[in-house]
Structures are given as C-alpha cells and as structure tokens.
Amino acid sequence: MVKKQAGYALVWVTAVVIAIVVGLAAVSTVGASLRGRGPIGNEVVRNVDRGAEVQVRPDPDATVVSREIRGDYGTFTVACQGVYALGKGARPRSSSGWRVISFEPGPDDDVDAVFSNRRRSVEIEVFCNRGRPTVAEIERNQLPGEDD
C-alpha cells in the first residue's frame, strides 16, 4: 500500500513539474511577442558583412492611416503605413506650460513622444495594429519635489 501511494505521489509531483515548465515556456513566449508589440519586433536588421544598420522603409503602396492622440499635454500625430509607424508631429499645449522633450519620427514598429510640464511628464507609445495607429502605452510620471 505504501509503495502504491509513493508511486502516486511521484506521478503527481512529475505532472506538477511538467505543468510548471510548460506554463513558464508559454508565458515567456507570449511575453516576448508582446514586448515587440508590432509585427516587426524590436530587432534591428544588420548587414553582417559591414555591421551597418539597414534603413527601414515602408511599402510606398501601403495605405496611410493617420491619428491624433490628444491630452492635457498636447497632440501627438501618428500615421501607419502598413506595419510601420511614423511619428508625424508632436505639438505641446504650450498655453499650459507643456513642451516636447523627445519625439521619434520612425519609421519603426512603434514611435513615441515625451511631453513635460515642470515636474510632470507624459510618454506616449504608438504602434500599428492591422495598419491603424494604436496606443500601446501612456506613461504619466511625477518627479518628486523638495516638499515631497
């Protein structure tokens, strides 16, 4: 009887270990695909012979779809040309003290812009989902002040 129970316990422990390994593999695979967000991924294509980066160019025949992302910080205009995101412009709401800190024009799998207003900042990241600009993330930060 004890041998039979030990055998069941061993089978159960083995099944648990296999389930954990399969779960970790699945999560890491899905996580890797989500980190790249767009179908291009974050990899940079390199010319192996010369070590130089290859210039990314959208298909000129692909439909261009534009979108403006607006907020209290201003406006970030993005276009998608197929799978490639293009940052068209970042305009701060200067009447409220906002300014553009950085802006990525692309083309790339995603583009972003960072707006700042004294101790606050907003970073907007946009990628192309089926050829349409889609907000991946809006990150709002508050820098600590002397009285915080």
Q: pLDDT tens, 121-143?
A: 999 999 999 889 999 999 999 87
Residue pair 99/84 in contact (Cβ under 8 Å)? The answer is no
21 confidence band (pLDDT: 50, 70, 90): low
CA 87 to chain centre: 14
E strands, 16-109, in order: 46-47, 52-53, 64-71, 74-81, 84-92, 99-103
Q: Is the pLDDT of residue 54 over 60?
A: no
Q: pLDDT tens, 73-114?
A: 999 999 999 889 999 999 998 788 899 999 998 888 899 999
Amino acid at 25: A
Whether pTM > 0.85 for this model: the answer is no
Spatial neighbors of 139 by CB under 8 A, at least 6 apart, are: 122, 123, 124, 125
